[in-house]
Amino acid sequence: MVVSLAEIRQTSGEVFMEGCPTRVVLDHIMSKWGVLVLLALTDGTHRWGELRREVQGISEKMLASTLRTLEADGLVVRESYPEVPPRVEYALSPLGRELMDRMLALVEWVAGNADEIVARPA
């Protein structure tokens, strides 16, 4: 089990440094909307409107942008069906499921500690 940035860099090189692709990936998956969209998709395949309701507060523009980014990263799969009206569904890819298997522990920790953290005086 890796326990520090130094250990990660020892096995993977100079990752998480300025200009490193790891920072791009972190930006995509750890953004507020990225996390919430990925989290919603852990429950299974969703259509556009379902995601809008599940990820409360996200604008249509931001949902579209976030889904495009996560799809381009290979974390989300978009399936379009040739029906009238058109039907599009989104799901986690195998890579996205692997990510969320690891990220769910962090999300659970946040859910369990957010009230205490936010209640602390500034």
Comparing 75 with 17, the larger pLDDT belongs to: 75
Domain span at residue 89 reads 21-119
In a domain, 78, yes or no: yes
User: What is the Cα–Cα distance from 18 to 26, expressed in whole angstroms?
Assistant: 12
Q: Which amino acid is at 81?
A: Y
| Residue 108 to residues 49, 57, 78, 92, Cα–Cα distance (Å) | 25, 21, 27, 19
Q: What pLDDT does 32 receive?
A: 92
In a domain, 103, yes or no: yes
Q: What pLDDT does 2 receive?
A: 65
Assign residue 105 the CATH number of its domain.
1.10.10.10
Q: How confident is the model at residue 16 (pLDDT cuts 50, 70, 90)?
A: confident
In a domain, 101, yes or no: yes
In a domain, 46, yes or no: yes
In a domain, 52, yes or no: yes
Q: How confident is the model at residue 11 (pLDDT cuts 50, 70, 90)?
A: confident
Please state, for a pLDDT cut of 70, what percent of the chain lies above it.
98
pTM: 0.89
Judged against a pLDDT cut of 70, whether residue 70 lies above it is answered with: yes
State how many domains the chain has.
Answer: 1
Judged against a pLDDT cut of 90, whether residue 73 lies above it is answered with: yes
In a domain, 40, yes or no: yes
Over residues 29-39, the mean pLDDT reads 95
Over residues 3-29, the mean pLDDT reads 87
In a domain, 89, yes or no: yes
In a domain, 13, yes or no: no
